[in-house]
Amino acid sequence: MGTETDTTTVHLAVYDTLADWETGHATAWLARAGYTVRTVGPVAGEPVTTLAGLRIVPDLALADLDPGESALLILPGAEKYDEGDELAPFATKARAFLDAGVPVAAICGATAGLAREGLLDDRPHTSAASFYLAATGYRGGGHYVDADAVRDGDLITAGPTDPVAFAREIFARLGAYEGKRDAWYRLFQHSDPAAYAELNG
């Protein structure tokens, strides 16, 4: 594709102990908006197992993921982020995305991975709790925001209990559901019946 960025393919990182509930709103509704969602794992074709025990076969390997062929990299949380450095390469890839001007969205444990990579040292961000990230030893505590989700330019962060707010910020960064994002959020976050008619009108 040369130096132009693919604006229609979103990449979802998948790895063992992935937290199933954290990215479903984002990926399902991005697909409905016309994006192609492809999964990226440690090894292409080698299944990973989520916290729910679901097996996912990644479409491609992390090593083969080029920021220029993606509109967004989504990093879900996983217990493995708190068990060692096995998932550190995903944070390294996130740095490559951000350096290339391609957005990254991280939720829950994935924010700890970004913190260890130094990507949260100087930009507004959030996570499960400030002390969770402080335990990584990162230097960005002064930029922590106590919010459901935070979008700072090309970086989106959220805690594990806020998948709807996480998706809303992803849509905003990609320009999806213009004019209907508020209704979408009210429907899925607050079960507002009036929002359904707005979203589907």
Residues 6 or more apart from 131 whose CB is under 8 A from it?
none
- DSSP secondary structure letter of residue 19: -
Is 108 in the active site?
yes
CA distance 188 to 195: 9
**φ and ψ at residue 9, rounded to 5 degrees:** -110, 125
DSSP 119-157: TTSSS-B--S-HHHHHTTT-S-GGGB--SSEEEETTEEE
Q: And the tokens for 20?
A: 């199933």
- In this structure, are residues 41 and 62 in contact, taking their beta carbons and an 8 Å threshold? yes
- In this structure, are residues 177 and 171 in contact, taking their beta carbons and an 8 Å threshold? yes
CA distance 115 to 121: 7
- DSSP secondary structure letter of residue 23: S
Q: Which of 48, 108, 158, 187 is catalytic?
A: 108
Residues with active-site annotation:
108
